[in-house]
Structure 1
Amino acid sequence: MLTPRHQALLATLAGMTVGVAVFGTVLAINSATGQDSAQTVVTSPTSTPTPIASDGLQPDALQFVAETFGTEREPITAEVPAGWKSSQTGTRPRYVDPTGVWQIRFDARGSKQTPDALLEARQGSIDEPDYKVISTDNTTLVYTYTDQERGPRMGLSRWIAAGDSDRSALEITVGGRPQDQAGLRAVLERATETLQLSGESDDRPS
């Protein structure tokens, strides 16, 4: 016959056995459900937008590539900044940088008018807010104005004569912001220096 002391000892041992069993069961469940495993956090890299230099388009940051446009019979070649793309070909391509801030446009339809006459006509035809002529040297019209959506803008338009004649063969226009003037002039000069005309076109109305 068990004494009260023996009965108390057996009860204590039984409680310890049940506790160990329950603890083992909890461990087994946690292991099966993966609660002890460390969670892995996966982050997706965010794309960095193309910055637009607030101090303007820098000439020394430009690289150039040759582009061909015009017609099959009279192709024209000139260098434009690398990365600037045109959505159209033919005689009136327009190459735009990825940000949409800067552009260079060619008009190779030609004209019977002289470059000086076309410059004068363009100078008097621009109807934009805050329009101001900066200079008209070397058959190049330099002007500024304010665009309602993009703010202050600057344009440089140059007319090039056809060979030894007085007729105009080509117009080159670059556009950007007033703080881009140095870079825009570099783009215009590079296009002019590398321009290769294979013939003289005369498709533009006089």
Structure 2
Amino acid sequence: MLTPRHQALVMTLAGMTVGVAVFGAVLAVNGNPLAGDDTPAGIVNSQPAPSTPSRTNGLQPDSVQYSLQSFGSTSAPVTAEVPTGWKSSDDGTRPRFLDPTGVWQIRFDTRGSKQSPDKLVDNRLRSIDERDLKVISRDNGTLIYTYVDQTRGPRMGLSRWVSTDGGQSSAVEITVGGRPQDEAGLRAILQHATDTLRLSDTDNDNRPN
């Protein structure tokens, strides 16, 4: 027969056993708060959704629409179609049209030159001082190249000199710039500007050498 003291000890042990069982059930439901997870019980700990990635397939030809722009000088006006929404702060002889993000651009130089397009390709290639310069092609008065810009990273440039006298001299330079992954779109923009380029008829020859 248990003494009152023994009976009290048995009751205490029984209470501790029940308490451990209840605590174990709580851990099974809510997870172990001692396992290093600071998430409150009942709240799912999920990783935040990644931000929308930037377009990695580059500028595509079918995504570009065009608008007619006028520039040049009063005595020798020039028109050409450039991508819609690209703006230039100058409508003179050397306008540069930038897209709203600043990633792409097209530039014209309507002053012309008495040198042939092929000669101007050679001159431009010698003047480029950029890191990791790589020439993609240099055919028919057009220079295509890539380089690495210190702040913007990998870049691509396409420069074309347009002749109106069978290659004896150059009337207009068109340069398009963007990223290497934009090559298809940049080529399309350069070709469209070339196809839509309109020069005024003038007998004045003030072109530099």
TM-score range, shorter chain: 0.7 to 0.9
Q: CA deviation at 1:199?
A: 3.3
Q: CA deviation at 1:122?
A: 0.6
The one of 145, 170, 187 equivalent to 1:143 is 145
Aligned to 1:90: 92
1:131 aligns with 2:133: yes
Aligned to 1:58: 60
| Distance (whole Å) between structure 2 residues aligned to residue 186 and residue 165 of structure 1 | 22
Q: Secondary structure at the match of 1:132?
A: strand
Q: 1:169 to 1:115 in 2, by over 3 A?
A: same
State how many pairs are aligned: 156
Indicate if the aligned counterparts of 1:63 and 1:82 stay in contact, CA closer than 8 A. Answer: yes
Structure 1 gap ranges (5+):
1-50
Q: 1:75 to 1:52 in 2, by over 3 A?
A: farther
| Distance (whole Å) between structure 1 residues aligned to residue 175 and residue 201 of structure 2 | 20
Q: CA deviation at 1:149?
A: 0.4
Aligned to 2:163: 161
Q: Secondary structure at the match of 1:116?
A: helix
Amino acid at match of 1:53: R
Structure 2 gap ranges (5+):
1-52
Aligned to 1:100: 102
Greater radius of gyration (CA): 1
65-74 or 175-184, larger mean C-alpha shift:
65-74
Q: CA deviation at 1:162?
A: 2.7
Amino acid at match of 1:195: L
Q: CA deviation at 1:101?
A: 0.1
Q: Secondary structure at the match of 1:136?
A: strand
Please report the RMSD computed on the Cα atoms of aligned residues, expressed in angstroms: 1.6
Amino acid at match of 1:174: V
Indicate if the aligned counterparts of 1:111 and 1:202 stay in contact, CA closer than 8 A. Answer: no
| Distance (whole Å) between structure 1 residues aligned to residue 109 and residue 91 of structure 2 | 11
After superposition, what is the alpha-carbon deviation per residue over 1:123-170, rounded to whole angstroms, capped at 9, x for unaligned? Answer: 111110001100011211000000000000000000011334611100
Aligned to 1:77: 79
| Distance (whole Å) between structure 2 residues aligned to residue 160 and residue 57 of structure 1 | 24
After superposition, what is the alpha-carbon deviation per residue over 1:78-104, rounded to whole angstroms, capped at 9, x for unaligned? Answer: 000000000111100000000000000
1:188 aligns with 2:190: yes
The one of 198, 203, 208 equivalent to 1:205 is 208
Q: Secondary structure at the match of 1:180?
A: helix
Indicate if the aligned counterparts of 1:52 and 1:99 stay in contact, CA closer than 8 A. Answer: no
TM-score, normalized by length of structure 1? 0.72
Indicate if the aligned counterparts of 1:110 and 1:202 stay in contact, CA closer than 8 A. Answer: no
Q: CA deviation at 1:205?
A: 3.0
- Identical-pair percentage: 64
TM-score, normalized by length of structure 2? 0.71
Q: 1:52 to 1:104 in 2, by over 3 A?
A: farther
| Distance (whole Å) between structure 1 residues aligned to residue 152 and residue 107 of structure 2 | 18
